[in-house]
Amino acid sequence: MRALRRHRRTLPSQDPNDPGYRRLRYVRYCDDFLLGFAGPRREAEQIKSKIRAFLREDLKLELSESKTLITHATSQAARFLGYEIRTQHADTKITRRRRAVNAAIGLFVPRDVIRGKCAAYMSKGKPAFRGPLLHDDDFTIVAKYGSEYRGLVQYYLLAQDVFRLALLRWVMETSMLKTLAAKHKSSVTKMARKYKASIDTPDGPRAGFQVTVQRDRGRKPLVARFDGIPLKRQRTAVIADHKPIMATVRRNELIHRLLAGQCELCEGRIGLQVHHIRKLADLDKPGRPERPSWKRLMAMRKRKTLVVCEACHQDIHAGRATAITRT
């Protein structure tokens, strides 16, 4: 009886080769799209040919043959927006008396992405300090490492194997501590002991690193954290951070502008946040009157970050008009 039950679990509950069954799903983001097709390969190739003809004849575009691949979802993984997508199969995973995992689509973190991200913080195969950050304050160093780590982890929290980013966490943590140790001519152990802290998370307290800068006039202290994100899948995860700028100079260092305690657009002092851009070229060329005030200010200062209040930050992301002074 046990042998028969084990054998039954290996058999599909429906006919996977049903000649009359087809299903097609389509998803697109900008110029990147993905088709999920249940059917024979020859029909998948016909669909690809029709897409190629439509792009060429109607849109005057060429289909990239090197990027437009036909992959078998069970034995191969498709790449889409930085994720690996494939069909799952597990005869031993029983949920509510059925094999709920079989034929379900899963999102996974690509292994080469983890290796590539780790390589940015390594030298000769080991975590290394970041030279451009040695002249920054401890607050800025921890804040930048924490922002980069959070941005990447929050993007891959949809993946079922997000726990694999634990390797990246260790590499970035060691690189950060080596940077602090090189700055103070100290050791990694002493830096870890100095800044180690317990960070509250929705899943309970978690060990991490924290730098606190006290401010006068009864204002809340500035806090920079690294880690504090459980590597646990979240189906409704959203991206909350932008990619920070790793290199800074003393006169533009973020902590000095935050300690000033006011919005650089409206001079407000409530709910200060930092707006990031990827590169100065995103601000367009200077002198164009249609550019919003915050872009003109960043282009004039040649700065990729802007300290703003919560209201101005929401106006920037919503595309609403902002003024240098707010009444």
Q: Show pLDDT as tens, one digit a residue, over the chain (327 residues).
A: 989 988 887 887 777 677 788 888 999 888 788 998 888 888 889 999 999 999 899 988 888 888 888 888 777 888 888 888 888 777 777 777 777 777 778 889 999 999 999 999 999 889 999 888 888 888 889 988 988 898 888 889 888 888 999 999 999 999 999 999 999 999 999 999 999 988 887 778 888 898 888 877 777 888 888 988 888 888 777 655 455 544 454 444 666 666 667 787 777 777 788 887 877 777 765 555 566 777 777 777 667 778 888 888 888 888 776 655 443
- DSSP-derived 3-state class of residue 272: coil
**Cβ partners under 8 Å of residue 11, min gap 6:** none
Question: Using CA atoms, how far apart are residues 125 and 178, in angstroms rounded to an integer?
Answer: 15
Q: 161: which DSSP letter?
A: T
Q: Say what the pLDDT of residue 242 is.
A: 52
Do residues 109 and 83 make contact, with C-beta atoms less than 8 angstroms apart? yes
**pLDDT at residue 115, as a whole number:** 93
Domain boundaries, the chain: 2-106, 112-226, 260-318
CA 87: distance to chain centroid?
23
The pLDDT of residue 249: 45
Angle at 12 between CA 8 and CA 17, to 5 degrees: 145
At residue 71, the pLDDT reads: 85
Contacts of 165 (CB under 8 A, 6+ apart): 109, 114, 152, 153, 156, 231
Is 207 within 8 Å of 227 (Cβ atoms)?
A: yes
Radius of gyration of the chain (CA): 25
Give which of 139, 21, 251 is closest to 12, Cα–Cα: 21
Predicted TM-score (pTM) of the model is: 0.67
* Alpha carbon distance 137, 254 (integer Å): 9
Q: State both tokens at 130.
A: 């970041």
* Tokens coding 95: 């949920």
Residue 49 burial (CB count, 10 A): 11
- Phi, psi (5° rounding) for residue 213? -115, 115
Q: Which two tokens mark 229?
A: 């994100």
Q: In this structure, what token pair is assigned to residue 53?
A: 């003809």
Nearest Cα to Cα of residue 231 among 150, 165, 172: 165
